[in-house]
Amino acid sequence: MNNTHTDKKYEEDLKKLREEILYMGGLIEDQIQKAVKSLVDRDSDLAEIIIERDHEVNRLDVDIDDLCIRLLALHQPAGRDLRFITTGLKITTDLERIGDMAVNICERALELNEESQLKPYIDIPRMAQVSQRMIHESLDAFVREDTDLALKVCKDDDEVDQLNAQIFRETITFMIENPQTISRATKIGSISKYLERIADHATNIAEMVIFMVKGKSIRHLKELPPSV
């Protein structure tokens, strides 16, 4: 017995699926990084470019879906191939949603760039950094079938949640002290929420990776298992 498929075309399609997902993941990481940059640097041109580039993310989403459905229909996969393909379907959905969040960040950045800056952005870039790292690591875990790394991603979600709560408190304080800031403070709060959701999507990807490798689900548990 060996590790390659007797069906070469099938093998090629599976490889292609892996590559497409990784390509999409790389694009998404870049989208988030640049979206936050457009906010911090008050660079509206960059924000427009990122919004425009979401088309490419959407196209990849559709293409990968098509590939997965074709693989399911033509090869009736089982075992780890089945888990890989269904994981691919779900990962793509999460990535596409992350792409939408990057667009939302850019939209708020465009609005915020029209007004004077409320405060220096410190926690938002930190949050973005952690969220982006989570996506990167969840996809790394996907490629290397590394469940320890996937579990770490799930745990890192707490850090982002805490930063989000902190930013929420801070923006509320601004609004209470000076109602003139309400519009800007709500937008910053929204961006924080987008980043928090991005981390949630990265967590979903990591959970799916654990399912893909181990064949067991750790989703919707009250507490994360110490190991898988």
- Positions touching another protein (CB under 8 A) are 1-7, 10, 75-83, 214-218, 221-223, 225-228
Instruction: Give the shortest CB-191-to-another protein separation in angstroms.
Output: 35
Closest separation between CB of residue 211 and another protein, Å? 9
Least Å distance between CB 21 and another protein? 19
> Shortest approach of another protein to residue 6 CB, angstroms?
6
Q: Please, which residue, 5 or 53, has the CB nearer to another protein?
A: 5
Closest distance of CB 147 from another protein, Å: 12
Instruction: Kindly tell me which of 16 and 55 has the beta carbon lying closer to another protein.
Output: 16
In the complex, least distance from residue 1 CB atom to another protein, rounded to whole angstroms: 5
The neighbour count for residue 36, using CB atoms within 10 Å, is 26
* Shorter beta-carbon distance to another protein: residue 79 or 120: 79
Which residue number, 83 or 184, has a Cβ lying nearer to another protein?
83
Nearest to 68 by CA among 90, 51, 53, 52: 90
- In the complex with another protein, the residue whose CB is nearer, 82 or 110, is 82
Nearer to another protein, 45 or 223 (CB): 223
Angle between helices 8-40 and 44-75 (to 10 degrees): 160
Reading the block at residue 25, the tokens are 């993941």
